[in-house]
């Protein structure tokens, strides 16, 4: 009797990336940089947010001096939102973006995306989630149909490794040892 095992899933971290209205014309160029950096684009959508939607999206910034300008700017034209996935996606994307102030980014992180595409502190070209929890919240906001599975931790992670990863590695390494190829790579 053959036992059918569920297909193993590869869990990777996700983050939200937004190409803001003033650099929408650089969409293909930015996507190319994203893909060459090891990200996968899981979902993508072009949309225009209303001022009310922008207020809800940036609710954590409410009350700050720049909030009205931010919501006006983000609702001024279409944006491209993408769910990016890779190992350590949130921190890697934040590193690629550089400081939120594009003027400072040009000095301290001249090769960052905000240094290359942003114009000032407000019009910094791109958005990135600041944490895994904010990434999940923001992804749900922009992609309400998205299914976000939690990353396994603790015993669930050990079970996954024992059930799927270790047997595959053991079989592959055993086969490699039996063959003893001159150049294993």
**Measured distance between the N- and C-terminal CA atoms of the chain, rounded to whole angstroms:** 36
Give yes or no for a contact between 148 and 136, defined as CB atoms under 8 angstroms apart. yes
Give yes or no for a contact between 25 and 77, defined as CB atoms under 8 angstroms apart. no
Place of tokens 């869990």: 11
The residues with which 46 forms a beta bridge, in sequence order, are 80
Report d(CA 28, CA 48) in Å as an integer.
18
Report d(CA 81, CA 134) in Å as an integer.
15
127 is catalytic: yes
User: Looking at 26, 94, 109, 127, which residue is catalytic?
Assistant: 127
Active-site positions read 127
């Amino acid at each position: 009797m053959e036992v059918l095992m569920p297909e193993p899933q590869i869990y990777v971290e996700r983050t939200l990336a937004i190409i803001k209205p003033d650099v929408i014309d650089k969409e293909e160029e930015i996507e190319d940089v994203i893909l060459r950096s090891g990200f996968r684009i899981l979902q993508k959508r072009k949309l225009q947010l209303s001022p009310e939607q922008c207020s809800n999206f940036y609710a954590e910034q409410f009350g700050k001096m720049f909030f009205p300008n931010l919501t006006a700017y983000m609702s001024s034209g279409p944006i491209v939102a993408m769910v990016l996935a890779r190992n350590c996606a949130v921190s890697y994307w934040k590193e690629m973006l550089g400081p939120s102030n594009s003027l400072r980014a040009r000095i301290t992180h001249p090769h960052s995306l905000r240094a290359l595409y942003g114009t000032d502190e407000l019009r910094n070209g791109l958005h990135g989630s600041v944490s895994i929890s904010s990434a999940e919240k923001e992804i749900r906001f922009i992609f309400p149909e998205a299914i976000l599975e939690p990353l396994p931790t603790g015993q669930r992670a050990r079970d996954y490794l024992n059930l799927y990863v270790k047997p595959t590695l053991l079989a592959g390494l055993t086969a490699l040892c039996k063959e003893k190829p001159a150049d294993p790579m």
